[in-house]
Amino acid sequence: MSLDSGSRGPEPNRLPQRAAPSRFAIFMNAIRLGDIRSVQRHVALYKPDLNALDEFDYSPLVLASLCGHYEIVEYLLASGARCDRDTFQGERAVYSALTQRIRNLLIKNNYSVSIDVRQPFAALISSLFLGELGRVTAAGVFLPRPNGDLRLRLAGDPECEFLVHTFVLAARSRYFSQAIMSSVDSDASPPNEFTLPGNVNTATARAMLRYLYLVDPDEPLYKNPAIDTDQLSQTLLLPELHHSQGLLSKKSSQQRWTTAIEYAQQDFSKLWDEYLRAPVHLAEDEEFSSAKLSNGARLLRPDIILRVEPQQDDGGYYYYAAHRAVLQSDYVNTAIRFKENMQHAKPSDESPIIVSVDVSPKIMDIILGWFYTDVLTVEPELALELLLAADMLLIERLKTRACLLITTQDGDDLLTGKLGYSIFDVARTGWLTGTFPKLDPFCAKFLATRLERCLEDGSDFRVEFEELVKESAARIQGREETDTIELIDDIRYYLNERFRMRFDGLVTGMFSEEQHDASVQEQDVCMQAHQPEELSLRTSSEKYTKLMADLDELLVTLGLDA
């Protein structure tokens, strides 16, 4: 029976077209292949949900664990992927781990948000209310936790008072912000105490403060019969409290916790932008005093002034008002402790302590913004400078974040130096700052991917590459002639990975196609079709051999046998 053109069936040799994969599918495929660079780039550019599930019910962490990609598991945990012990996905990630090393990593981090990006921020703010004594720095200096600067009293209970932090209340509550900033247009001093309305009892005040200080961000206040959340949100102008309690009542504890932290980060971000971000710029011979701060900054009772040294392009000093309670720099906090011990100020002297910091105003702005919000926004051009500043100021967690920013750069701009620094600078900075365990693999893989350009005779890249190889060799104390060079070993490894993946992809593609051939004629067609692939495979093999030989020749030229 003949069919007309309008009812023609599918052509027998035409394969059905597939829909283009989604970004999340591409992200999951990069995890499956173990392509850490693609994973990092995807997270940086598209911000995928690291706890979402794909069509096969795999989360990114479970898939990376199952495939045995330790670096990706570590990166996902550092980026906020969750592996809760009381969930199916959490147990699945642990028990399906391909290697014991990955399993130990998950167990070591308590299967939970190993390094949840919000956890340190919540812990920092809540510690101010809980009255923790303080901590000891890596240098052995004890840093006490700063006390509050505002006494909060209750009209209905004169005997009850709370010692709180002005900047926290101003950030978290519109009611307190309006009260504190009521004299912003005058030169009046900030208040030393404040009395809550009579309809706020002790239990309500304590619960409210625990909420503002992120002590129990995941505990719904509406479950406490002694607290009227509607009245509390209206009296203290906390609309998000009423909104969030109703909205989050149906969500899990973790979801409530995450949303509450995000609310707080937005609050502190607004406070930072509105009152503290703009520094005071004074000439080098002009003395700083608190009276030169803006009224808004002064009313927030800053106890630290960070002075940025003069820059070449603009003379003078920049003075940034800040609060010791949020400073996470062991360098600055230690300097404060020594200044407190050395100066013999009167007990009534509330002048902020001035600490000089040798960073640029741009970097100081980024660091202080991160202190107050735990949100890092930085241009790629400033990432390396930020890492150096974080190392100088002894801010370990910021060093880790800066390394993540650097390792997401994978374009030729990092080779040519268009970012203001090159891959060679990144490697040296890793050695200088002690972050080489994170940066060395990235640099080696980057160089292995572009080794042809680094070995090109007469090029500037070759000169810089040779210098870097010699510096890497010199890092080994008492190095013998036949000792390996870590940089060269890493490059050889990633060069092998670069071509091995290409070989495996071609060979796998050839065999998978042949399995679908049903006749000799189709096999002949398939073989003809794969001739370009075989040629490409041969060319890649020759290229790999040549690059390895050129690398060995470079070492001989430099007098290094590795």
pLDDT in the model for residue 443: 93
**How many Å apart are CA 148 and CA 168, to the nearest integer?**
10
> Residues 374, 120: contact at Cβ < 8 Å?
yes
CA distance 387 to 407: 12
pLDDT of the residue at 358: 92
The values of phi and psi at residue 348, to 5°, are: -85, -10
Contact 238, 176 (CB under 8 A): no
Q: What does the pLDDT read at residue 80?
A: 76
| 5/393 Cα distance (integer angstroms) | 75
Query: Any idea what DSSP says for residue 62?
Result: H
pLDDT value, residue 244: 52
Q: What is the pLDDT along the chain (562 residues), one digit of tens a residue?
A: 344 444 444 444 333 334 456 888 889 989 998 888 889 888 878 778 888 888 777 889 889 988 889 999 888 888 878 776 555 666 677 777 888 888 888 776 654 444 456 678 888 898 888 876 666 666 566 666 778 889 998 887 878 889 999 999 999 999 999 989 887 777 777 888 888 887 788 888 888 888 899 887 666 565 666 666 777 777 777 766 655 555 445 555 666 777 788 889 999 999 999 999 999 999 888 899 888 999 999 999 999 999 998 666 667 899 999 999 999 899 998 898 888 777 655 444 568 899 999 999 999 999 999 999 999 889 989 999 999 999 999 998 899 889 988 988 878 889 999 999 999 999 999 999 988 788 988 999 999 999 999 999 888 999 999 999 999 988 876 555 556 788 999 999 889 888 875 554 444 444 334 444 444 344 444 444 445 555 555 667 788 889 999 998 998 888 886 5
Torsion over CA of 171, 175, 180 and 184, rounded to 10 degrees? 90
Q: Provide the whole-model pTM.
A: 0.73
| Ordered DSSP codes for 182-206 | GGTTS-PPPPSEEEE-TT--HHHHH
Helix residue ranges per DSSP H, 185-285: 202-212, 229-235, 239-248, 253-271
